[in-house]
Structures are given as structure tokens and as C-alpha cells.
Structure 1
């Protein structure tokens, strides 16, 4: 009986350690907010998502400094962000990386050059920033950590370009959110690896017009999801198709 109890306790301990290891540690960064009255952060961006209200990201988005943006590979990743001054006073918010905060080396890193390398910095829409900062200071010390992306519906594939240059925007990716590889397949081809064009736009030079399209998406956590025949044979450029969605294990 003692051996059984010891074995059970060991299993519980291992499970507890495993669950704890999956919770990312809080790190230090800074945050500013956009005062653009045209909400350009919500209608443009270096990840290529376009109007963020239409892609379901809305105001809960962020631009990242170069160190965090990592040349666009962080597009779609989700972060929990909270004030470092009063971490218990306000609940953290969940934001999606949709834009790049460019450096300004003409200004010092602690006064205007917030996004200069190697600073970790988040540039938020004003509506999101106000949820973690009551007084809206010019520069807010924050804590951040990677988090699971909560998405409604399946992964979206927006097909653009032409027969000789197909470009596919991948959006609404759940769980890890950070796509690192995409493959496409027609009815008359095998799986074709696509190259990252910019942000979360992926491209291929293979003519797939007139063929149903299937997609394979791999995230930074090395989870792969395949959506077969997402687009019908008569698809046209400019259309968006919905595939499967990553599910919690």
C-alpha cells in the first residue's frame, strides 16, 4: 500500500510540474499607445491582415519592436499584457501581434526610441492600452508572456495574386497562433511548400487555378493541421476560405 501511495504521489507531482512548465513566465517590457484618429493600426499593419475588425482581431492587437517581431515570424502570436506598476490592480489583456513598431535611432531608447533594438516593446491601440493603464502615461512599464490564442471558427485562407504568383494570407489561427510553415496542394499536385512573402502572407509560383486547394499549417509549437479541399475547383483570387482549427490537446 505504501508503495502504491508513493507511486501515486510521484505521478501527481510530475503532472503538477508539467502543468506549471506550460505556463509562460512573465517578462519585462514597455508599452505605448497609438493616438492615430484614423485607427491605422486596425486597418493596416506589417503582418498583412488588413482590416482587423474583419479578421476578428479588433482592438486587441499590438505592434512589436524588432526584437519581438522577429522579421514577421511573430505575426499571429498572442500575448498576455499587464501593467508592471500595479500588476494586481488590473487584469491582463490578451493581444495578437499584427504590426511592427519600427526603431527610431535618432532618439534615445529611453525617450522616443521605444522600439530600438534590443528593447522589448508593445505599441497598442489606445482602447486596449486604457484597459491596463488608468492615467495613460507616455511610457508604461509592463509585464508580458506568451499565451494561447482564442479563436472563433476555423483558420482562414485568403487567396490573392495570379496564376504565376499565388499569395495566401493565413489568419485566425488558434492555440499557438504563430505560423512557421505552410503547404498547399492541388488535385493534380503533391504537397508544395510555400515561402513566407511578408508577415503571414505565403507565396507559391505553381499554377493551381482550376484545382481544389488543400492547406497544411505548422505552428511554432510544431503542431500541424491539414485542411483538405478548402477551396473548390472554381475558386477565384480574392476569396477567403475557412479550414479546420487547432484544438486543445
Structure 2
């Protein structure tokens, strides 16, 4: 009986450990703690956010790529030379430092889609300042427009996306250029690899923003393509054969969701 009880206990321990591991995997990216007393926000572009389209991340039309108007251009201290493209931040107006915060002090979540360069008006984006240059509609969800600039508290948060990450394939047979969008979880891809159905994994090189290039194998057209993305939290997401054999340039293919 004692031996039977010990076996049951051992099985229970294995089951609990398995459930704990499953829960930790399912939990996904959790973000960071609030940062205060260091960052400010301004806005650029008009009320229709037309002036925020395109940008240094390569996302192009932010409506068609799913980012909308809750977006921000980051100062160099946050932009990380483009590796922060796609990251999501929750912001609040810092009521201790501004009289322009909206009643109730709401928060918003924005996606990094652009770069606010050194020497911009007011010097708010100059190194080493942490700054969010928001699309106008996002700015007015936090503070009265007349404030112009206000202090914020912020934290990294998971990016909530519908469907899987998307890969837009550009270039030509000798120059593969892939734009990665709609990335959930940590949101910002740090490494990207590509694999043809008859090849191993090839390391791609970041061209700019979230544009990744590969020039080592002109036979990839005509092969189904898989992608392996490594995000800033270390998670690795593999999208197997998401581009079929007959894929073409300028086409977009949906892969596996990131959490």
C-alpha cells in the first residue's frame, strides 16, 4: 500500500509539473513594469493621422497592415535602431507633472511604427531622452491637445493581434526582402530565418525596420517557404510552409501567431 501511495504521489507531482509548464507556456509575453519620471509625449501629423503613414519601420499603410492610429514614433533611446519596431507600449499621462491629463487618466496601448529623429522640434527625441511622438488621435486619448507635450508613465505590454504574423515577400530571385507585420506577444522580431522545402534554415539580415533580406539562394522561388522568428523576449515562432510553392513577389502570407 505504501508503494502504491508513493507511485500515486509521484504521478501527481509529474502532473502538477506538467500543468505548471503548460500554464507558463500559454501565458506568453507579460511585458514590463511601469517606468515613470523619464518619458514625455508629443504628437505629429494631423487629426486624420495621414502624416503618420509609412515610416522607419517599413509598415507602409498602417490601416491595411492593421496598426491604425494608435501608433508612436520612438526616440533613439527606445527605437533601438529599428529593432523595437512592432513593440507595444501602454501609456498614461503623468498627473503629477501635467495639468493637461484627461479626466480619469485613461491609458492607451500604442505600437512602435516610426522613428522620431534627433534634432526634431523641441529636442524631445534627442538622446538620451525617452520619448513617444504619438499619432494625433492617440495623443488626444490621453491629454488635451493644448498641452503640446506632457510627461507619461509607460510599460511594455503584449501586442494583441488577430491571426498569425504576416510575411510580405518582395525583391527578386537573387534578393529576397521580407516585411514582417502583425506580430503578437512581444511584437518586435529580433531575428528571422527562412527555409525552402529543399533547404535548411537560412539566417536573414535586417535591412531596415522590420524588413529582412536574404541573398544566398536564388532557387527559393518555386519552393514552399517557412519562417522562424525570434522575438525580443526570446520566444521562437516557426511558420511552416506558410508560403506555398507558387508564391509570388508582392504577396502576403499568414503564419503562426506569437503570444
d(CA) in 1 for partners of 2:160, 2:149:
28
Are 2:161 and 1:146 aligned? no
Greater Rg by CA: 2
Structure 1 residues 116 and 245, CA gap change in structure 2 (3 angstroms):
same
Q: Which runs of 4+ in 1 moved over 6 A?
A: none
Work out whether residues 42 and 53 of structure 1, in 8 Å CA contact, stay in contact via their aligned partners in 2: no
Paired residue secondary structure (1:136): helix
Paired residue secondary structure (2:117): coil
d(CA) in 1 for partners of 2:245, 2:93:
50
Q: Which whole-Å deviations, capped at 9, do the CAs of 1:17-74 have from their partners, x for residues lacking one?
A: x99x965233330111114477344421100000011111100110000111010010
Alignment match, 2:245: 233
Paired residue secondary structure (2:137): helix
- Spell out the pairing of 1:83-94 with structure 2 (5 A cutoff): 83-85=93-95, 86=101, 89-94=104-109
Paired residue secondary structure (2:79): helix
| Among candidates 224, 244, 248, match of residue 256 of structure 2 | 244
Alignment match, 1:220: 232
d(CA) in 2 for partners of 1:200, 1:231:
18
Identify, as 1 or 2, the structure richer in helix. 2
Paired residue secondary structure (2:146): coil
Alignment match, 1:134: 144
| Among candidates 55, 74, 77, match of residue 84 of structure 2 | 74
Q: Which whole-Å deviations, capped at 9, do the CAs of 1:201-229 have from their partners, x for residues lacking one?
A: 00000221111000001101000011111
- Using structure 1 for the length normalisation, give the TM-score: 0.85
Work out whether residues 42 and 58 of structure 1, in 8 Å CA contact, stay in contact via their aligned partners in 2: no
Q: How many residues align?
A: 225
RMSD: 2.2
Alignment match, 2:204: 194
Are 2:118 and 1:103 aligned? yes
Which structure 1 residue ranges, 5 or more long, are not aligned? 1-14
Structure 1 residues 91 and 36, CA gap change in structure 2 (3 angstroms):
closer
d(CA) in 1 for partners of 2:66, 2:246:
27
